[in-house]
A and B are shown apart, each in its own frame.
Chain A
Amino acid sequence: DTEVTQTPKHLVMGMTNKKSLKCEQHMGHRAMYWYKQKAKKPPELMFVYSYEKLSINESVPSRFSPECPNSSLLNLHLHALQPEDSALYLCASSQARTDLTEAFFGQGTRLTVV
């Protein structure tokens, strides 16, 4: 199984809502990543988790709150988002945070903030 599964595929939320994005992998990877991708742009790294611990936070606003409950799961909790946060949110995983072999990406969650 070389899949990274993200749910939901689409999400529309108001600026006062609280919602969560979920990501799951069963490849035994110990590094997991959240990326944000705006239209016609490459992905931008948001967070890196290594062995369930936050390793990198790329100066992401606190309205985005990541969580890694176990080695297979990664969540992104959303609260009080702005319309400019509308984007495709991609989850990825790799063997380890120092592993340069490859990252596997999920299909993404298309988020619209209204």
Chain B
Amino acid sequence: AQSVTQPDIHITVSEGASLELRCNYSYGATPYLFWYVQSPGQGLQLLLKYFSGDTLVQGIKGFEAEFKRSQSSFNLRKPSVHWSDAAEYFCAVGALTDSNYQLIWGAGTKLIIKP
């Protein structure tokens, strides 16, 4: 069955420190992978996506993610976080189910920034 696991419910990082959010997926075919960010009370904004090609993808706001097929992972990274990065982060797999495109979501990781 298709699934996405984000093992960390929340992560606390000091402002200016580096960040890595973990995402593991289970999917039979080549995955289409996404990271979305959601600020409190807001909608979802796409940070980056992976479909094929270079396994290191660059996104908006200084984020990047690396696809590792051997580890079934798509971890999100940022070299130096800012207080405005505090938000909920969702990893998702795009999957075709009964000829319909659906997003399979992880449970989310809440990022807390320490001043």
A residues with a Cβ closer than 8 A to B are 4, 6, 31, 40-43, 45, 48, 50, 55-56, 88, 90, 92, 94, 96-108, 110
Contacts and interface: CB of A to CB of B under 8 A. Distances in A.
Interface string B94-114: 111001111101111010000
A42 B36 CA distance: 11
Contacts, number: 66
A101 B90 CA distance: 17
B43 A105 contact: yes
Nearest to B103: A103
Contact of A43 (B49, B51, B100, B105): B105
13 contacts: A4-B43, A40-B108, A42-B90, A43-B44, A48-B100, A56-B100, A98-B100, A99-B101, A100-B94, A100-B96, A100-B101, A104-B46, A108-B43
B106 A42 contact: yes
B51 A45 contact: no
Given A41-B108, A108-B43, A98 B32 contact: no
Nearest to B4: A42
